[in-house]
Structure 1
Amino acid sequence: MKVVLLENVKNVGNKGDIVDVKDGYGRNFLIKTGKGVIGNKENIAMAETTKAEEAQKVAAERQAAVELAKTIDETEITITERAGEDGKLFGSVTSKDIAEALENQKGIKVDKRKVELEMPLRNVGRAEVKVKTYQGVVGKLTVLIKGEA
């Protein structure tokens, strides 16, 4: 029996997949619980159309993320913190500080969890910071840290 899945079903398939299952499983579990519909021509055509639309949406999101990464590559932000005479900051510059500065100075909004810092920045100077915009797409942001007395 062909069934079009309406949601992800463990060990069977993902939402929108057209799967062959045993008649009893399809009728008594998948269709009865609303996890799938009978795989007739109309439902199969609808599922294929939906999958194509989702693929286009994902491609558009990825393209937008690539363009954002290019913009971030060309961007430099300046953060001023209190520092000692030796160039060490009294505090540190965290991913939250970088995300806020990027939004305030350049108008680019990114989630602080997307800013990848191995350790918070604790010295005055220039640093390269990776900003993840999409799965597998990373931009390198230049952060200039200035010290003030």
Structure 2
Amino acid sequence: MKVIMLQDVEKVGDKHEVIEVKDGFGRNYLLPRGLAIIGNKSNMGRLNEMIRRENAQEQKKLDVYREVANKLKGKTLRVGAKSGTSGRIFGSITQLQIRNLLQEQFGVDVERKKIILPEEAKELGTYQFTMRLHPEVVQEMDMEIVQE
């Protein structure tokens, strides 16, 4: 079954992507939850209009994203984590945790899916993470993981 994704679904497909899925998965999971629509001729025609409309909305938000990036430029986010005596943290730092700390410390709301964390952030120390706010606005920021 060919479907057009309406939202990002992890390990399935990204928004506005046309993918082929098994009939049962499409019919019983994606379509009822509003995550995708059937990829027939009329919906394929609507796809370009949906993409154009979405891009227009994103373009309007571009100034807001630039303002957020400028507000965070040169700042360091402090992240508290429990760790052992060796400095290795228990668990991991998550996108949701970073999102909440950005809101708490700087008053900035960033979607969690736009936050890209480094793989090596497993110990106390300073690391850099990336925020892809918009294809034109990518902001790198320092994050200091400290003992909680």
Normalised to the residue count of structure 2, the TM-score between the two structures is 0.58
Q: What 5-or-longer segments of structure 1 have no aligned partner? A: 1-7, 16-50
For 1:84 and 1:144, the matched residues in 2 are separated by 17
Question: Which protein has the larger Cα radius of gyration, Structure 1 or Structure 2?
Answer: 1
- The question of 1:117 aligning with 2:117 is answered yes
- The question of 1:95 aligning with 2:95 is answered yes
The DSSP-based 3-state class of the residue aligned with 1:142 is: strand
- The question of 1:138 aligning with 2:138 is answered yes
Partner of 1:79: 79
For 1:69 and 1:144, the matched residues in 2 are separated by 18
The DSSP-based 3-state class of the residue aligned with 1:90 is: coil
Report if aligned partners of 1:80, 1:145 keep a CA contact under 8 Å in 2. yes
Instruction: Report the CA distance shift for 1:84/1:61 in structure 2 as closer, same or farther (over 3 A).
Output: same
Q: CA deviation at 1:116?
A: 0.6
- Across the aligned residues of Structure 1 and Structure 2, the Cα RMSD in angstroms comes to 3.1
Residue type at the aligned position of 2:92:
S
% of aligned pairs identical?
21
Q: What 5-or-longer segments of structure 2 have no aligned partner? A: 1-41
Instruction: Report the CA distance shift for 1:79/1:14 in structure 2 as closer, same or farther (over 3 A).
Output: closer
Q: Tell me the alpha carbon deviations over residues 53-101 of structure 1, each in whole angstroms, 9 at most, x when there is no partner.
A: x998654422221221222223221111111121100121111111111
Report if aligned partners of 1:130, 1:139 keep a CA contact under 8 Å in 2. yes
Which is richer in strand?
Answer: 1
- The question of 1:106 aligning with 2:106 is answered yes
Q: Where do 1:61-80 residues align within 5 Å?
A: 61-80=61-80
For 1:10 and 1:138, the matched residues in 2 are separated by 31
For 2:137 and 2:84, the matched residues in 1 are separated by 37
For 1:92 and 1:14, the matched residues in 2 are separated by 39
Q: CA deviation at 1:132?
A: 1.2
For 2:84 and 2:56, the matched residues in 1 are separated by 52
The DSSP-based 3-state class of the residue aligned with 1:104 is: helix
- Displacement over 6 Å in runs of 4+: 54-57
For 2:47 and 2:119, the matched residues in 1 are separated by 40
Deviates more, 1:130-139 or 1:58-67: 58-67
